[in-house]
């Protein structure tokens, strides 16, 4: 049994499943080929840490510039997300191994050590000695002999002490501190989840948030069908299967960049997580309806709503930022949805300019803390604070208030977020309902959606019209949806 397997054999939900799911290419990486992948990953990590750039944006930019093979691109992605995600645990161990302390390291040397340690501990398809040799070569190239010697010394020490570097061995002053360092999450967030979800669920949430997300696409049913897209992708050797959660969803594996595929350009599909696809399904748009999507960019849910409206009726897609409005318009054009009208501005201001009761349905896919998508954007852990949650919840409350008047009697106000913070979800809706007796939570979701959710054991008979998907529910994003009906 490998050292990694020994480390993880007692923790079904921890690094072992993380490592397994992060094995992207399915083949052992060849040391020569992956060398440039490590350098690219290192540059991205340094930029993300120094400039606060979003990892997914920086990653996309670098991958486009570097023209890496599909396998190398997958390895870079894995190294960047894994290293950012695990940095607290990595630093906990490195601080015991770097004699002069981490604060004195040059930023790139610190990132190189994190990256290499991450590979040794969590990527067993890369032989540990290859990870050390690569790190020493990079250190020689980017620095000097002294730095290369130090990197070599630290990582050789890691190899000698591998059996001690087990997350189960991390036991600190209290439960929150232990979980924080084991799963590499800020203490305040662990405390919040312990309060909201209890010990067992918190540990599951922490472990799930450290796993790689699976990829899915949403089929544009105006142009093609789920079966046809699955057939098309399978013919190209891509593993594709229907989503168990969303009607238009297809789960893909080892697919490369499907937004660069001709089928994407032709408007046959869009990139979207399955949880997000539920929103439009639950909204139940019909051709000819009048619908407002108040916070619409980059436009995923607007496009899905537009597809379900079959391009007929009025769909007003608004976002705060003008540059984001253009993203929405581009997607509408690609998908052939000419009925989508785009605007930009604060939705609260927009509401003042629109006639009260003028929409059959309003979607408020609100800005949020994003704790449901940490595995896609791991730096969320490090950039958000408890105060941010309070501030964003306040904004959500104001947005809900502004949207409430725009819905016709008998119409629907659908509120959603990609977070699992109760303050932004159940508590937000409870306080809205307390102020708005004209609204009720609507349990009458489309039967097909309810039956899928029941089959996946996500809801039971207690379902009350609001859904909190957790990141460990279906390996999809953590997401909240409430369907509110106006009397």
Ligand X SMILES: C[S@@+](CC[C@H](N)C(=O)[O-])C[C@H]1O[C@@H](n2cnc3c(N)ncnc32)[C@H](O)[C@@H]1O
365 is in an annotated binding site: yes
Residue range at the interface with ligand X (CB under 6 A); choices 2-10, 345-353, 456-464, 474-482? 345-353
Among 128, 283, 295, 332, binds ligand X (CB under 6 A): 295
Q: ∠ CA 328-281-429 to the nearest 5 degrees? A: 90
Alpha-carbon torsion 423, 424, 425, 428, what sign? positive
Which one, of 436, 277, 281, lies nearest residue 361 by Cα? 281
Least Å from the CB of residue 258 to ligand X: 17
Tokens 């009260």 correspond to 356
301: contact with ligand X by CB under 6 A = yes
Select 194 or 348, whichever has its Cβ closest to ligand X.
348
Footprint (CB under 6 A) of ligand X, residues 348-377: 348, 365, 367
Q: Contact letters (x/-) for ligand X, 247-286, by CB under 6 A?
A: -----------------------------x----------
- Is residue 300 marked as binding? yes
CB 328 within 8 A of CB 340: yes
Whose structure tokens read 């989503």?
A: 243
The closest alpha carbon to 279, from 298, 304, 253, 251, belongs to 304
CB of 198 to ligand X, least distance (A): 27
Look up residue 444 and give its two tokens. Answer: 């009458």
Smaller CB separation from ligand X, 117 or 283: 283
Please pick, among 418, 453, 467, 469, the residue that the annotation labels catalytic. Answer: 418
Q: Which of 44, 109, 150, 347 binds ligand X (CB under 6 A)?
A: 347
Is residue 368 annotated as a catalytic residue, yes or no? no
* Residue 478 touches ligand X, criterion: CB under 6 A: no
Q: How far does CA 374 lie from the centroid of its chain?
A: 5
Cα→Cα distances 342→13, 314, 334, 363, Å: 43, 11, 15, 14
| Binding of ligand X by 300 (CB under 6 A) | yes
Length of the chain counted residue by residue? 487
Q: Does 299 bind ligand X (CB under 6 A)?
A: yes
What is the DSSP secondary-structure string of 225-238?
A: -HHHHHHHHHHTT-
306 to 325: interface string for ligand X, x by CB under 6 A: ------------xxxx--x-
Place of tokens 């619908």: 291
Helix, strand or coil, per DSSP, at residue 170: coil
Least distance from ligand X to the Cβ atom of residue 416, Å: 8
Q: Tell me which residues touch ligand X (CB under 6 A).
A: 276, 294-301, 318-321, 324, 346-348, 365, 367
Please report, in range form, the residues annotated as the binding site for S-adenosyl-L-methionine.
Answer: 295-301, 319, 346, 365
| Residues with a known catalytic role | 418
């Amino acid at each position: 049994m490998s050292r990694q397997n020994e480390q993880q054999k007692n923790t079904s939900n921890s690094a072992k499943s993380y490592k397994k799911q992060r094995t992207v290419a399915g083949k052992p990486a060849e040391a020569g080929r992956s060398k440039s992948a490590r350098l690219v990953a290192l540059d991205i990590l340094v930029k993300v840490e120094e400039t606060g750039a979003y990892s997914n944006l920086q990653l996309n930019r670098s991958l486009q510039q570097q023209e890496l093979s599909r396998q190398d691109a997958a390895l870079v992605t894995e190294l960047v997300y894994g290293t950012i995600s695990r940095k607290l645990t990595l630093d906990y161990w490195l601080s015991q191994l770097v004699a002069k302390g981490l604060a004195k390291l040059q930023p790139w040397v610190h990132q190189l050590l994190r990256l290499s340690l991450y590979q040794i501990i969590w990527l067993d398809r890369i032989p540990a000695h290859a990870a050390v040799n690569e790190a020493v070569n990079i250190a020689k190239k980017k620095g000097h002999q002294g730095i290369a010697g130090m990197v070599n010394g630290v990582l050789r020490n890691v190899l000698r002490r591998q059996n001690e570097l087990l997350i189960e061995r991390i036991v600190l002053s209290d439960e929150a501190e232990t979980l924080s360092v084991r799963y590499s999450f800020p203490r305040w967030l662990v405390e919040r989840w312990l309060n909201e979800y209890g010990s067992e669920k918190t540990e599951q949430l922490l472990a799930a948030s450290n796993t790689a997300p699976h990829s899915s696409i949403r089929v544009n049913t105006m142009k093609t069908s789920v079966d046809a897209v699955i057939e098309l992708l399978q013919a190209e050797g891509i593993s594709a299967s229907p989503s168990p959660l969303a009607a238009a969803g297809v789960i893909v594996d080892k697919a490369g960049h499907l937004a660069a595929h001709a089928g994407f350009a032709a408007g046959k599909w869009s990139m979207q997580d399955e949880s997000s696809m539920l929103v439009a399904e639950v909204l139940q748009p019909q051709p000819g309806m009048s619908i407002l999507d108040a916070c619409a960019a980059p436009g995923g849910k607007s496009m899905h709503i537009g597809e379900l409206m079959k391009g007929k009726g009025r769909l007003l897609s608004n976002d705060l930022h003008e540059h984001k409005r253009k993203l929405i318009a581009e997607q509408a054009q690609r998908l052939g949805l000419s009925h989508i009208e785009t605007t930009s501005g604060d939705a609260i201001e927009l509401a003042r300019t629109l006639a009260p009761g003028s929409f059959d349905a309003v979607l408020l896919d609100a800005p949020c803390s994003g704790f449901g998508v940490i595995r896609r954007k791991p730096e969320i852990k490090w950039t958000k604070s408890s105060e941010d949650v309070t501030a964003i919840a306040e904004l959500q409350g104001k947005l809900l208030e502004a949207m409430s008047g725009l819905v016709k009697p008998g119409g629907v106000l659908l509120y959603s977020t990609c977070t699992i913070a109760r303050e932004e979800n159940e508590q937000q809706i409870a306080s809205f309902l307390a102020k708005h007796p004209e609204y009720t939570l609507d349990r009458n979701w489309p039967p097909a959606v309810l039956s899928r959710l029941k089959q996946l054991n996500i809801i039971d008979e207690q379902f009350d019209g609001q859904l909190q998907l957790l990141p460990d529910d279906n390996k999809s994003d953590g997401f909240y949806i409430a369907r509110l009906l106006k009397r």
